[in-house]
A and B are shown apart, each in its own frame.
Chain A
Amino acid sequence: MQIQPILATLRHHKLTAILLTLQVALTCAIVCNVAFMILQRVQRISLPAGIAENELSVIHSRFIGNDSDPWVKQHKADLEQADWAQHQVDLAALRAIPGVESVAAVRFALPLDKAESSYGTCPSKQALDRAMQLMSMHGAGCIDVSVYDGSPGLITTLGLHLVEGRDFSPDEYVLGQKDPPVAIISNALAQHLFPGQNALGKELYVGKRIIRVIGIVGTLLAPNLHGASRNDDTMIWPQLAESTGVFYVLRSAPRDRARILREAKAALLKLGPGRYINPKYVETYTQIRAQYFQRDRTMIGLLIASALGLLFVTALGITGLANFWVGQRTRSIGIRRALGATRADILRYFQTENFLIVTGGIVLGVILAVGLNLLLMKHYELSRLPLWYLAIGAIVLWLLGQLSVLGPALRAANVPPVVATRSV
């Protein structure tokens, strides 16, 4: 196959060829970056929370009894203690629902649930002092850690895996916001606070509190994702819910969840003081997770749609133009055929022409893609585009080009030599 005559023809249609090249280049640049964004979002929404996500249901209850409520009158002296006592009654009732394997009461935070409380945590007294001096944790070796709390049974209910150490013992639990003596931390936090050491038994300095690490769990995602290096920096404190509002977490077989939520709501409304159950917070953990990533899923759909749309429009352009050129060159194709060119020669001619144009587009597109990536990195927290995306983008565009040109090229190959003898 000689490239010379193809180049000569293209020179004839310089402007059109350049336009098509530009279109391929822009498509290549945008599609490479879009594909990269899609993959990043997919990675984000598939982060494991580290808990038994498919087996959990969550229901929020809030006491709203007022002063005329007999329960409130009776417990006025120590409402906090009374609240926890009532939560225990609730927990027992929830545990009695058929199909419920275990339950726990949590004040407000669950992985990916957005409500968050976090504390600056230091691995040593010196680090804490340094942080106080700097008025910032950065540079002092301290980390902002998301804290979970929960009643006994939380570890089992969430389905967390203790990789080292033990669960809390009953005497380690404190009521509400009192300072806990011990904590269970995530593996990631253990490595971030005590790199190269065993974190078990170490003491954490959290403001004025000194808390001993008694257990380490595997993955445990924070309520909000703040970035890959921080997502897993979490710990659990043995605190008992003393608040009027409380989340009950129920573990069961996945298929029982809808029924259990219904029964749990009915059971809670029957019990104890005046109670408000917000229908918004009667949901499976799967729903909580879906809400957290809702925007990401919209974005993934949109990105896929626009990438496909772009490729489609570019394929349209290539087919349209190739069709046109075939029509325009029917006579010269006929002459070539009459002079002895085979069908395969004609087919290959158009395929090579397309390959040349698309290659030009890809070369330009790769440069544009890197430029676009730099721009996106500056304005929209995107990371650097790995080079193999460009390679895949190039292959996709070559294939797309060949596919779009195939129809017109076959039509050209079918032009009979006799056309050469006809006038236009």
Chain B
Amino acid sequence: MFGYYLDLALRSLKRTPVLTGLMVLAIGLGIGASMTMLTVLHVMTQDPLPERSAHLYTPHLDPLPINFKTDPMGTNPNQNLTWQDAMALLHAHRATRQAAMAGTDSLLWPQRPDLQPFFVDGRFTTQDFFAMFDVPFLEGSGWTAEDDQAGAHVIVLTESLARKLFGSANPIGQTVRLGASYAVPQGFRVIGVTPDWAPDPLFYADASASFYSDADQFFLPLSLSVTSHSETGPNFGLTGNISGWGTSNGDKLRDPDTTWLQFWAQLDTPAQVRVYRKFLIDYSAEQKSLGRFQRPATNAKLYSLMGWLKHENLVPDDVRLQFWLAIGFLGVAMLNIVALLLAKFLRRSGEISVRRALGAKRRDIFVQFGIESALIGVAGGLLGLGIAQLGLWSIRQRPDDYAHLASMDPSMLIGTVALAIVASVLAGLLPAWRACRVPPALQLKTL
């Protein structure tokens, strides 16, 4: 029967090529617009580390004074941790793995004579970073807890930076020189090379980062960020928000009233998560009893990775708005098709009543018209796929930081055609139902 209905549908569509074309165009435009935006939303809200994210958590404390007012336009100091708190959490070792980190932007002095000094983004972090985030190593490895403690001058490079600096030579054991303006550059021994590794979005970065385009090109032990000073000042520029509410000057980074560090912990079981949450509250309570914290200890929070991304609200309002606009477009296109299909099907009342009189059941008529709608959906879906690819291509040409991500994975490709078919079958439901209720006898009389 299916073959017969397909044949009937094709014939019917061919009989009214203009109308069929209009319907395919309408559904194609609607599907194309909505799938373009759905794809952008999909890639922007994807899991940056699918294998690890379920076990990654970020703790947040509330060390702000009770009367501190956060500027709604400005940055919230609570986004990051103070050096003191980050070290306390790190040394407590309550999670399977834990690491504190901060972004840096350093001046690199290449030894190759043909390269000028240049600035490069990297990250200060602690030993567990690589194992916790499952960063692979091409050569060598990360550093040890002793290196962290001692502020050893060691560095891990990404592949492209290693290649830029050392060409095809083995980078392990080589020296990389980093230093701020006017400072004596210091040498760092390369102990590991990772592939060009950057999760999208760069979830562990500070709120000021461009989450979809930033990438770290090197990693250094965190203790260097506070100890490595030369005559003219600190050796490294930190990126990200450094905000404080205290009045103490001097060593700003180790000031208990200055937040600038990010912290991540690996917690493998729900029980561990519960215990860790309690640990954070206990720690806050302890700090409060010491007079350092003023706000309720229960303000301490533990976010899961995906929960944290949601909290950070990375998807710009504009993208959300575009998505809703596309959905509205699809809605109008569907209404359009319902009206056209209804007119079309009902015009064939004569044909329907003949078929009914010859013994076709209502269900048969319904299925026949359902197949005709689905056929329009398939054609519209294919057109929509083309339009969506065009839309995504035009988004990739934009300079926005998420633009390079805008392309469809196989699931989205299948999803596009599926959505088109579902939409057109849905649109065909009402017309097909009306058509199958055409009574046989009454219509025959008018013939």
CB < 8 Å neighbour of A294 from B73, B183, B346, B398: B398
Interface size class of A (residues with CB under 8 A): 35 or more
Q: What string of 1s and 0s marks CB contacts (under 8 Å) between B185-198 and chain A? A: 10000000000000
> Which chain A residue has the least Cβ–Cβ distance from B16?
A324
Bound complex: CA A62 to CA B339 (Å):
65
Q: Is the CB of B331 within 8 A of A19?
A: no
Let me know if A294 and B25 touch, CB within 8 A.
no
Q: Tell me which residues from 102 to 142 in chain A have a Cβ below 8 Å from any Cβ of chain B.
A: 135-136
Whether A320 lies near B182 (C-beta < 8 A) is no
Q: Does B30 contact A (CB under 8 A)?
A: yes
A135 in complex: contacting residue of B67, B325, B342, CB < 8 Å: B67
A380 and B320 alpha carbons, distance in the complex (Å): 9
A299 within 8 A of B: yes
Least Cβ–Cβ distance between A414 and chain B, in angstroms:
18
B182–A323 touching, CB < 8 Å: no
B385 part of interface (Cβ distance < 8 Å): no
Interface string of B302-338 (1 = CB under 8 A from A): 0000000000000011101110011011011101101
Among candidates A62, A313, A319, A380, residue contacting B317 with C-beta atoms closer than 8 Å: A380
Assess whether A66 is in contact with B400, with CB atoms less than 8 Å apart.
no
Residue of A whose beta carbon sits closest to that of B23 = A320
0/1 interface trace, chain A 310-323, chain B, CB 8 Å (1 if under): 10111011011101
Which chain B residues lie closer than 8 Å to A295 at the CB level? 316, 318, 400
Q: Which residues of chain B in 339-364 are interfacial with respect to chain A, using CB atoms and an 8 Å cutoff?
A: 339-340, 342-344, 346-347
B69 touching A30, Cβ below 8 Å: no
**Does B272 interact with chain A (Cβ within 8 Å)?**
no
Let me know if B107 and A64 touch, CB within 8 A.
yes
Q: Contacts A294-B398, A317-B26 given: A244-B339 contact, CB under 8 Å? A: no
Is B109 on the interface with A (CB-CB < 8 A)? yes
A320 to B329 Cα, complex, angstroms: 18
> Cβ of A424: which chain B residues have Cβ within 8 Å of it?
447
**A residues in contact with B232, CB < 8 Å:** 79
| A63-B181, A67-B182 known; A320+B19 contact, CB < 8 A | yes
Given A23-B335, A63-B182, also A16-B343 (CB < 8 A): yes
Determine if A159 is an interface residue (Cβ-Cβ < 8 Å): no
| A313 and B332 contacting across the interface, CB-CB below 8 Å | yes
Q: Pick the contact of B329 from A22, A276, A310 — CB < 8 Å?
A: A310
From residue B430, how far is it (CB to closest CB) to chain A in Å?
8
Q: Which partner residue on chain A sits nearest B325 by CB separation?
A: A306
Whether B325 contacts A66 by the Cβ 8 Å rule is no
Q: Is A328's CB within 8 Å of the partner chain B?
A: yes
Contact with B along A9-37 (1 / 0, CB 8 A): 00001011001101100110010001000
Query: B254 interface residue, CB < 8 Å from A?
Result: no
Quick check: A317 and B339 within 8 Å, CB to CB? Answer: yes
In the assembly, what is the distance between CA of A408 and CA of B230, in Å?
A: 83
State the CA gap A310–B317 with chains docked (Å): 22
Contact assessment for B343 and A64 in the assembled complex, using a CB-CB cutoff below 8 Å:
no
Interface residue count on the B side (C-beta < 8 Å): 57
Q: For the complex, give the distance between the alpha carbons of A62 and B182 in Å.
A: 11
Shortest beta-carbon distance, A316 to chain B, in Å?
5
A49 at the interface (CB under 8 A from B): no
Cβ of A274 under 8 Å from chain B: yes
Q: Is the CB of A380 within 8 A of B33?
A: no
User: With an 8 A cutoff between CB atoms, is B10 at the interface?
Assistant: no
Bound Cα distance from A98 to B339, whole angstroms: 69
Among candidates B117, B179, B317, B347, residue contacting A324 with C-beta atoms closer than 8 Å: B347
Residues of A within 8 A of B336 (CB): 23, 313-314, 316-317
> Which residues from chain A contact B321 at a C-beta distance below 8 Å?
299, 380
Contact B343 A276 (CB under 8 A): no
**Given A30-B325, A316-B25, A15 contacting B67 (CB threshold 8 A):** no
Chain A positions within 8 Å of B69 at CB level: 135-136
A306 to B318, Cβ gap below 8 A?
Answer: no
Residue A298 lies at the interface, judged by CB distance under 8 Å to chain B: yes
A181 interfacial by beta-carbon distance below 8 Å: no
A303 at the binding interface (Cβ < 8 Å) = yes
CB of A72 closer than 8 Å to a CB of B: yes
Cα A15 to Cα B231 in complex, Å, equals 83
Given A63-B182, A313-B29: A22 touches B335 (CB 8 Å cut-off)? yes
**Which residue of A19, A67, A302, A310 is within 8 Å of B183 (Cβ)?**
A67
Q: How distant is the Cα of A63 from the Cα of B232 in the complex, in angstroms?
A: 14
Residue from A16, A244, A316, A380 in contact with B22 in the complex, judged by beta carbons closer than 8 Å: A316
Interface residues of A in 44-94 (CB under 8 A from B): 62-68, 72, 79
Considering the complex, which residues of chain B in the window 160-205 have a beta carbon less than 8 Å from any beta carbon of chain A? 179, 181-185
Q: Contacts A16-B343, A316-B25: A66 and B185 contacting too (C-beta < 8 A)?
A: yes
Query: Contacts A302-B322, A324-B343: A30 and B332 contacting too (C-beta < 8 A)?
Result: yes
CA distance A278 to B120 in the complex (A): 12
A378: CB under 8 A from chain B? no
Would you give the shortest CB distance from A117 to chain B, in whole angstroms? 12
Binary interface encoding of chain B residues 22-44 relative to chain A, with 1 for a CB under 8 A from any of its CBs, else 0: 11011001100100000000000
The residue among B69, B339, B399 with the most chain A CB atoms within 10 A of its own CB is B339
Q: Is the CB of B117 within 8 A of A276?
A: yes
Chain B residue contacts of A22, Cβ below 8 A: 335
A selection of 24 A-B contacts at a CB cut-off of 8 Å is A15-B434, A16-B342, A19-B338, A26-B331, A30-B325, A62-B181, A64-B182, A66-B179, A66-B183, A72-B182, A135-B69, A244-B182, A294-B398, A295-B400, A313-B26, A313-B30, A313-B329, A313-B336, A316-B25, A317-B336, A317-B340, A327-B347, A380-B320, A380-B321
Q: Which 9 A-B pairs have the closest CB atoms?
A: A19-B339, A317-B336, A23-B335, A244-B181, A324-B343, A67-B184, A316-B22, A320-B22, A30-B328
Which B residues are within 8 Å of any A CB, using their own CB? 18-19, 22-23, 25-26, 29-30, 33, 67-69, 73, 107, 109, 116-119, 179, 181-185, 230-232, 316-318, 320-322, 325-326, 328-329, 331-333, 335-336, 338-340, 342-344, 346-347, 398-400, 430, 434, 447
